[in-house]
Amino acid sequence: MPARVSLTRYLVEQQRVDGRIPPQLRLLIEIVARACKKISHAVEKGALGDVLGSAGTDNVQGEVQKKLDIIANEELIEANEWGGHLAAMASEEMEGIYVVPNRYPQGEYLLLFDPLDGSSNIDVNVSIGTIFSVLKKPDGSNHGVSEQDFLQAGARQVAAGYCIYGPQTTLVLTVGDGVAMFTLDREQGSFVLTQEDVQIPEDTKEFAINMSNMRHWDAPVKRYIDECLAGKEGPRGKDFNMRWIASMVADVHRILTRGGIFLYPWDKREPEKPGKLRLLYEANPMSWLVEQAGGMSTNGKQRILDLQPTKLHERVSVILGSKNEVERVTSYHR
């Protein structure tokens, strides 16, 4: 039987091969993984750990915070602030950026996260996850760190991934050399490489969208879904299946595993908002993973990774997954 490759070994080998991962970035990814392990334990305890339910507070987006949203946010901050690899962090659950306190050394990386994605699924025991993205502090910004430093296009990410807390806990990672998946071995307490070079099939018969919003969609999205629903008798000439987990991590994990298309488009409910999902914490890391696995990701008009963010909590319309389907929906917008 071939030797098991741990996350640590995978990262050390990535560092050795062509210096793809500098030591500080390797440390950062390991620490994020360690925090995810702790979050996974908290999730697993559920009612026994008194972690379910609402925390009685709202976040910056006006959404009710769950206890686990806050626990996960704190785990990520505590795990990452002392290592010397980071300059600052930004989170979906915090209004402003969190600058590493000056009692610790300052590093050159910026960490962004959605500490617990799929919050509405926490209490019903359905898969949820942590999404993260890593940027480098722009050159020349030697005078501390500001929110402006985080406003970089997704194409400039140096690492991105998520950890899904489902039947298994799986960490999915890219550092720009394809996508690798690591399953948590609970007995050993370590992440073990279980899939490398993840590839999303170019075609699919599976779509994911919140159908209850149909009456609010824009014409191109409506057209695309109508054609899928028409099945074999319609213009697509094949039957489609639908899945909607309402945890982006779980929907994207399915797509990385067997293909499919995911849409959370702009809709008329809140016309001034470009979409529901957050560009920096959700769309960018997921888009890079999907592209690294041979898929495609757009906001209907442009490649998401090329969008220049204008604010920390910016929202965006998201269409990602199997290349030919994303290409089709995007062409309907032209």
Point out which span in 30-38, 101-109, 115-123, 161-169 binds ligand AHM (CB under 6 A): 115-123
User: Is residue 119 a known part of a binding site?
Assistant: yes
User: Is residue 137 a known part of a binding site?
Assistant: no
Compute the least distance from the CB of residue 91 to Mg ion, in Å: 11
Binding letters toward Mg ion, positions 79-118, x by CB under 5 A: -----------------------------------x--x-
Compute the least distance from the CB of residue 148 to ligand AHM, in Å: 24
Binding letters toward ligand AHM, positions 68-107, x by CB under 6 A: ------------------------x---------------
Compute the least distance from the CB of residue 164 to Mg ion, in Å: 12
Residue of minimal Cβ distance to ligand AHM = 248
Cα-to-chain-centroid distance, residue 14: 22
Count of residues near ligand AHM by CB under 6 A: 12
User: Is residue 263 a known part of a binding site?
Assistant: no
User: Is residue 267 a known part of a binding site?
Assistant: no
Written as six digits, the tokens of 321 are 């997954």
Partner interacting with residue 63 (select from Mg ion, ligand AHM, none; CB below 5-8 Å by kind): ligand AHM
Residue position matching structure tokens 């006006």: 62
User: Is residue 222 a known part of a binding site?
Assistant: no
7 or 122: whose CB is closer to Mg ion?
A: 122
User: Is residue 139 a known part of a binding site?
Assistant: no
Question: Which of 75, 117, 149, 291 lies at the binding interface for ligand AHM (CB under 6 A)?
Answer: 117
Rounded Cα distance between 133 and 170, Å, is: 16
Compute the least distance from the CB of residue 116 to Mg ion, in Å: 8
What are the C-alpha distances in Å from 85 to residues 27, 34, 135, 176?
A: 7, 15, 12, 19
β pairing state of 206-208 and 261-264: parallel
User: Is residue 114 a known part of a binding site?
Assistant: yes
Point out which span in 24-32, 82-90, 97-105, 240-248 binds ligand AHM (CB under 6 A): 240-248
Rounded Cα distance between 72 and 116, Å, is: 6
User: Is residue 92 a known part of a binding site?
Assistant: yes
- Residues 111-150 contacting Mg ion, CB under 5 A: 114, 117
Question: Which of 6, 210, 257, 324 lies at the binding interface for ligand AHM (CB under 6 A)?
Answer: 210
Compute the least distance from the CB of residue 134 to Mg ion, in Å: 17
Question: Which of 7, 21, 39, 248 lies at the binding interface for ligand AHM (CB under 6 A)?
Answer: 248
Written as six digits, the tokens of 198 are 């993840």
Compute the least distance from the CB of residue 272 to ligand AHM, in Å: 17
Radius of gyration of the chain (CA): 19
Rounded Cα distance between 237 and 233, Å, is: 6
User: Is residue 80 a known part of a binding site?
Assistant: no
Return the H-helix or E-strand segment holding 65.
Answer: strand 64-66
Partner interacting with residue 317 (select from ligand AHM, Mg ion, none; CB below 5-8 Å by kind): none
Sequence-ordered alpha helix ranges (H) in 181-322:
219-229, 248-258, 284-292
Phi-psi region of 63 (alpha: psi -120 to 50; beta: other; left: phi over 0): beta
Give the closest residue to 40 by CA, choosing from 7, 68, 82.
68
Question: Which of 118, 161, 259, 309 lies at the binding interface for ligand AHM (CB under 6 A)?
Answer: 118
**Considering Cα of 225, then 228, then 231, then 237, what sign does the dihedral take?**
positive
CB 127 within 8 A of CB 134: no
Give the closest residue to 38 by CA, choosing from 201, 184, 155, 159.
184
Residue type, 327: E
Residue position matching structure tokens 């298309």: 261
Binding site for ligand AHM (CB under 6 A): 63, 92, 114, 117-120, 210, 246-248, 264
Q: Which residues bind Mg ion (CB under 5 A)?
A: 114, 117
